[in-house]
Amino acid sequence: GAVVSQHPSWVICKSGTSVKIECRSLDFQATTMFWYRQFPKQSLMLMATSNEGSKATYEQGVEKDKFLINHASLTLSTLTVTSAHPEDSSFYICSVIGGVMAEAFFGQGTRLTVV
């Protein structure tokens, strides 16, 4: 069964609105989760590291005020794309490190389309 659940799987929103994406760790507690972004036919790029109970760490070039990350519990991290624009249309995917072998488990991803 799924180890990491991401919701929604896809979303279409109007330009200027905000969209929240949830990443849930189902099988274990996660003090750290990672958010990646994948533009069409491109690779995955790390956006930020979500830390439970503290501020997220953003990669260079990622606007922290635009991509709000909240990791309020050990099983849930949320990514909110604020004032979305068409160029934010992308596939967003989270990962959680866990399990016996301590490996990265990925969510199903969220395909965001901003119109």
Partner 1 sequence: AQKVTQAQTEISVVEKEDVTLDCVYETRDTTYYLFWYKQPPSGELVFLIRRNSFDEQNEISGRYSWNFQKSTSSFNFTITASQVVDSAVYFCALSADNAGNMLTFGGGTRLMVKP
> Which residues here bind partner 1, judged by CB under 8 A?
32, 34, 36, 42-46, 49, 91, 93, 95, 97, 102-109, 111
In angstroms, give the least distance from the CB of 89 to partner 1: 14
CA-derived radius of gyration, the chain: 13
Residue nearer to partner 1 on the CB measure, 18 or 42: 42
Residue nearer to partner 1 on the CB measure, 102 or 115: 102
Q: What's the number of CA atoms in the CB half-sphere (13 Å) around residue 103?
A: 5
State the residue for tokens 């997220």. Answer: 56
In angstroms, give the least distance from the CB of 111 to partner 1: 7
What is the identity of the amino acid at 50? S
In angstroms, give the least distance from the CB of 83 to partner 1: 25
Q: Classify residue 71 as exposed, middle or buried by CB count within 10 Å of its CB (0-12, 13-18, 19+).
A: buried
Is the CB of residue 23 less than 8 Å from the CB of residue 8? no
In angstroms, give the least distance from the CB of 87 to partner 1: 20
Residue nearer to partner 1 on the CB measure, 32 or 82: 32
Residue nearer to partner 1 on the CB measure, 84 or 105: 105
What is the identity of the amino acid at 33? M
